[in-house]
Amino acid sequence: MNIEAFREYCLSKPGVAEDRPFDESTLVFKVMGKIFALTSLDSFPFRVNLKCEPEKAIQLRESYPGVQPGYHMNKVHWNTVRVGGLVGERELRAWIDDSYQLVAAKLTKAQQQSLEGCQ
């Protein structure tokens, strides 16, 4: 998956918007205003930060050499994933889905109902 495919996949989810709140080179994806994924437009190889359940975060780091504790993030809840040969597209899509769901589950009931209307 390249950065454009990553962007398109994130934006295909209900209630998602992209933003650059930190600087021009950090692309952030939010569901109802809450971050679930981000990447640097300047990084090579391409890397993404994704939210993850703490136990699963550890398991992924132990199982995949391309998964590390979240760079500049809470390392308990975030992983940095080096995209490419070390991580397949299917796995990356599943991890994006998980990150999205974790954040969406913490939204208010009204926000969650609004998301259901976006589908």
pLDDT tens digits along 44-67 = 888 999 999 999 999 999 999 999
Q: According to the model, what pLDDT value does residue 119 have? A: 61
Please state whether the predicted TM-score (pTM) of the whole model is above 0.85: yes
Q: According to the model, what pLDDT value does residue 25 have? A: 94
Q: What is the 3-state secondary structure (H, E, C) of 48-68?
A: EEEECCHHHHHHHHHHCCCEE
Taking 50 as the pLDDT cut, the residues of the chain under it are none
Q: Which fold has domain 3-109?
A: Aspartate Aminotransferase, domain 1 (3.90.1150)
Mean pLDDT of the chain: 92
Report the distance separating Cα 91 and Cα 79, nearest Å: 13
E-state strands within the chain: 16-19, 26-31, 34-40, 47-51, 67-69, 78-82
Please report, for the chain, the start and end positions of each structural domain, with discontinuous segments joined by +. 3-109
